[in-house]
Each structure stands twice: as structure tokens, then as C-alpha cells.
Amino acid sequence: MGIIQKGILGGFSGKVGNVVGGSWKGIDYMRSKSNRRTTTTSQRQKEQQLKFGIIARFQQPLTNLFAISFKSFAVKMTGANSAMSYNLRNGITGGTRPLL
């Protein structure tokens, strides 16, 4: 169930039908509810998901450090997301082809 926070013209939080509302960094947003995946993941997708998971687990205890140290590199994203992007591109290698 959605909760209207700022009257009829304000943002809302939660689900209303197939619309999801919320707020991120003070910005209200609405998006459609995602659909379930009907196809199986490819080998490259599995490799990318594994790579993402490894970096996410590594970065978790260092999130505050990355928020500060990568802040100057972050354009329209958080410092932690900027660090994730950098580490995905440069932090893990493997295989004979690029995963991104």
C-alpha cells in the first residue's frame, strides 16, 4: 500500500497497483513495478553478476571511506557508486574477454 507524504501533488512511498513510489536523496520518484524475468541468464550475465557480487561484498565495510574518497569522481551518483563503477572496470580481471 502506498503512503502519500505531501498531499495529492507530493510523492508517495510504496506500491499502488503497478506503480512504485519512493524518495532518494530528497528526490521523489515513481516507476513501474518490474516484471519477472522469463528467460534464463547467459553465461556472460552470470559472470557479470558474480563479478558484481564479489566487489559489493568487498566494498560493504568500506562504504563510508569510498563515499568520501570517490566523491570528487562521482557525477550524478554517490561516491560509493563511483567506487563500484571504477572497481567493476578495473578491479577484477578474468577470462579472455571483457565482461562489460
- The total domain count for the chain is 2
27 and 58 together in one domain:
no
Instruction: Give the rounded percent of residues in the chain with a pLDDT score beyond 90.
Output: 28
Residue 98 domain-assigned (yes or no):
no
Query: Which residue segment(s) compose the domain that 10 sits in?
Result: 3-32
* Per-residue b or e along 41-79, where b marks 16 or more CB atoms closer than 10 Å to that residue's CB: eeeeeeeeeebeeebeeebeeeeeebbeebeeebeeebb
Q: Which H helix or E strand runs over 29? A: strand 27-32
- CA distance from start to end of the chain: 37
User: pLDDT higher for 72 or 94?
Assistant: 72
Average pLDDT, integer, range 86-98: 75
Instruction: Decide if 13 is inside a domain.
Output: yes
In a domain, 49, yes or no: yes
- Reported pTM: 0.60
Clarify whether residues 21 and 47 are in a common domain.
no
> What's the whole-number mean pLDDT along residues 30-56?
89
Kindly state the helix (H) or strand (E) to which residue 16 belongs, with its residue range. Answer: strand 12-16
Range ranked top by mean pLDDT from 2-16, 50-64, 81-95: 50-64
Cα 28 to Cα 21: distance, rounded to the nearest angstrom = 7
User: Is 79 among the domain residues?
Assistant: yes
Task: Classify the C-alpha dihedral 89-92-98-100 as positive or negative.
Answer: negative
Rounded Cα distance, 97 and 43, in Å: 12
